[in-house]
Amino acid sequence: MARAIWKGSISFGLVNIPIGLYPATRKEDLKFRLLRKADLSPVNYKRVAEKDGKEVPWNEIVKGYEYEKGKYIVLKDEDFQRVDVEATQTVDIKDFVDEDEIDPIFFYKPYYLEPQKGGDKAYALLRDSLKEKKKVGIAKVVIKTREYLAGVKPEDGALVLELMHFGDELIDTSRLNIPKKAEVGKRELKMATALIDSMSAKWDPEKYKDDYREALMHVIEEKVEAGGKEIEEKPRKAAKPTKVIDLVKVLQQSLEQTGSKKKKTARGGKHPHRHKKAA
């Protein structure tokens, strides 16, 4: 496994558990460089001042906060150090909250917690207690120079620290133009729930692949094999937007389509949403 990005301890009450923090996810984005078209020379970015268009060396760059349009206040390293956020290297659990009380929208980035020397028993105790009570430990933690809100929860035999949004970071849905009350017919509701039932399945994360990335890699491999030459594009029919006029009719067609797909799958046919991997 990769090296821990942070080492410290979990603290709740008088209990301290030494832990290491490891990323729980990885990004598989393809990386591209900007090139000059004429000779494929890489294009580099320059730090240019807006006022005169001149390049600015790193030693002349400062950090500024725009407090009014076009007006800035400069912050030095000493100003950031004055902020009273003590980096204690501790995941300080403040409360234990029922897991089902927390809207999943609050969580956004998970890390695995690994017990360090001497912490196995206390680690297992916290993990099993959280699982038994179906609770999440709500904690504050400082990583590098920033304080985060985080949830500590059991996941697949491990403890996971998942960074959370603070309450004031979420946009109030009242700002959106969404239907508060809409007249939904009983027949429409019955058919919609039947469609959901027919499309229900066990959660299997391996089932869902990044089809766009695979298809793009296939294009890249084709171009490499062709020595960078352009590849003839096969014409595609653009999908026409559909207008939902008769909702019941659309639901009925969806149910019939889903039913026929399930029958094909049951007979050993290929899964309708599974694509071939790029060669």
Give pLDDT tens digits for 73-116: 998 888 877 775 555 688 989 999 999 999 999 999 999 999 99
Q: Per-residue pLDDT averaged across 188-200, rounded? A: 85
Token pair for residue 4? 């821990």
Please, is 250 exposed, middle or buried when counting C-beta atoms within 10 Å of its C-beta (0-12, 13-18, 19+)? middle
**pLDDT-based confidence at 239, cuts 50/70/90?**
low
Please, is 232 exposed, middle or buried when counting C-beta atoms within 10 Å of its C-beta (0-12, 13-18, 19+)? exposed
- The verdict on residue 149 lying in a domain is yes
- Those residues whose C-beta lies under 8 Å from the C-beta of residue 116, and which sit 6 or more positions away, are 7, 18, 19, 20
Q: Where in the sequence is the domain holding 119, given as residue range(s)?
A: 6-27+84-169
| Max mean pLDDT range (108-112, 143-147, 253-257) | 108-112
Q: Residue 92: give its domain's CATH number.
A: 2.40.290.10
| Max mean pLDDT range (5-9, 119-123, 182-186, 251-255) | 119-123
- The verdict on residue 145 lying in a domain is yes
- The verdict on residue 261 lying in a domain is no
Please check the confidence at residue 227 and state whether its pLDDT lies above 80.
no
pTM for this one? 0.69
- The verdict on residue 211 lying in a domain is no
- Those residues whose C-beta lies under 8 Å from the C-beta of residue 105, and which sit 6 or more positions away, are 165, 170
How many Å apart are CA 40 and CA 32, to the nearest integer? 12
How many Å apart are CA 139 and CA 246, to the nearest integer? 50
Higher-scoring residue by pLDDT: 157, 199: 157
Check if the beta carbon of residue 139 is closer than 8 Å to that of residue 19: no
Q: Which helix (H) or strand (E) holds 75?
A: strand 71-75
| Max mean pLDDT range (138-142, 212-216, 239-243) | 138-142
- The verdict on residue 126 lying in a domain is yes
| Percentage of the chain modeled with pLDDT above 70 | 85
How many Å apart are CA 135 and CA 130, to the nearest integer? 5
pLDDT given at position 277: 41
Please check the confidence at residue 204 and state whether its pLDDT lies above 50.
yes
Tally of domains in the chain? 1
- The verdict on residue 199 lying in a domain is no
Check if the beta carbon of residue 41 is closer than 8 Å to that of residue 35: yes
pLDDT given at position 87: 59
Q: Which helix (H) or strand (E) holds 222?
A: helix 211-225
| Percentage of the chain modeled with pLDDT above 90 | 37
pLDDT given at position 257: 82
Q: Per-residue pLDDT averaged across 24-34, rounded? A: 83
3-state helix, strand, coil in the chain (%, to 5): 30, 25, 40
Check if the beta carbon of residue 65 is closer than 8 Å to that of residue 73: yes
- The verdict on residue 251 lying in a domain is no
- The verdict on residue 78 lying in a domain is no
